[in-house]
Amino acid sequence: MGLQRSQIALGNYAHPLYSFERFLDCAEALNIRNLELWGAGPHFYFYDYTDTRARELFQRIQARGMQVICMTPEQCMYPINIACADPIMRRRSIDYFKRGVQFCHIMNCPLLLVTPGKGYFDQPVKAAWGRCIEALREIGEYAASAGVKLAVEHLTRLSTNIAVTAAALAALVKEVGLPNVGGMVDTDMAGRCGESVGDYLSAFEGKLAHVHLVDGMPGGHMVPGDGVLALKAQMEQLSQFGYRRYITPEIMHSSYQLEPEKALERTVRWMESVFAGI
């Protein structure tokens, strides 16, 4: 059995200029019931939401017959850094992800996406690595108590000095040592480091917690076919390893934001065609 259409999830990444309802309309029109919820403004920035507001949002999702399969709090554009040397910022960052766990619990979401943060580039990376490990353990243990798993995604050499390759990410997750903390792959991030899905499948022995599918130059989080990444071959690798979890196209390039529905429709049609052929 290869990759299935039922593994496709849509995120609200391409809709920052539009209402959350319009995103739901788009997912419904494409007959996608699995959602990845981007925890960012204007739709769902954590510090703008109480538990009551989150439940109301979830009710709107459920009313469409949809489910939240992954929650991805914004952690790149906002001051979130679990490996930060500053104790105040680091504590706020850890608590931010714990709040994400609480929202996962409210929305019956099994997965929370977390990135490693970073240390100062003019200081030894060992200390930042240690702070990251401690933070992931604290968040992971808290998540386990709520039945939530963490999917750890690395960033790029321009944004972090912690775990920017598949092997390094696997080593990080192994050192955390919690069964509910796993690694994932973003094809864009991997491409920027000269790697592919196959490198992550090898590093994690085929056990990936989640996949983000996007094209790039490399870089750009683009619709498949708009960049240079060998995405069809990478989907074939996932199929060969028997990957059964969700695949979310994280379409974020600004060129799509005025007409996000067109970008997501092209993406879903590409995935349908490729999945049917492998």
Q: What is the pLDDT along the chain (278 residues), one digit of tens a residue?
A: 799 999 999 999 999 999 999 999 999 999 999 999 999 999 999 999 999 999 999 999 999 999 999 999 999 888 999 999 999 999 999 999 999 999 999 999 999 999 999 999 999 999 999 999 999 999 999 999 999 999 999 999 989 999 999 999 999 999 999 999 999 999 999 999 999 999 999 999 999 999 999 999 999 999 999 999 999 999 999 999 999 999 999 999 999 999 999 999 999 999 999 999 99
β-pairing, 185-186 vs 211-212, is parallel
CATH topology of domain 5-276: TIM Barrel (3.20.20)
Distance CA 35, CA 1 (A): 23
Q: How many residues can be counted in the chain? A: 278
Distance CA 126, CA 78 (A): 24
Q: Kindly state the tokens that stand for 244.
A: 């059964």
> Which residues have CB under 8 Å from 209's CB, separation 6+?
111, 149, 150, 151, 152, 182, 183, 184, 245
Sequence letter at residue 116: P
Closest CA to 180 of 206, 220, 213, 144: 144
Q: Give this prediction's pTM.
A: 0.97
State the residue for tokens 């108590």.
145
Positive or negative: CA dihedral 69, 62, 214, 39: negative
Burial 14-47 (b: 16+ CB within 10 A, else e): bbbebebeebbebbeebebbbbbbbbbeebbebe
Q: Kindly state the tokens that stand for 150.
A: 């963490």
* Beta strands, E only, the chain: 10-11, 34-39, 67-73, 111-114, 149-152, 181-183, 185-186, 211-212, 247-248
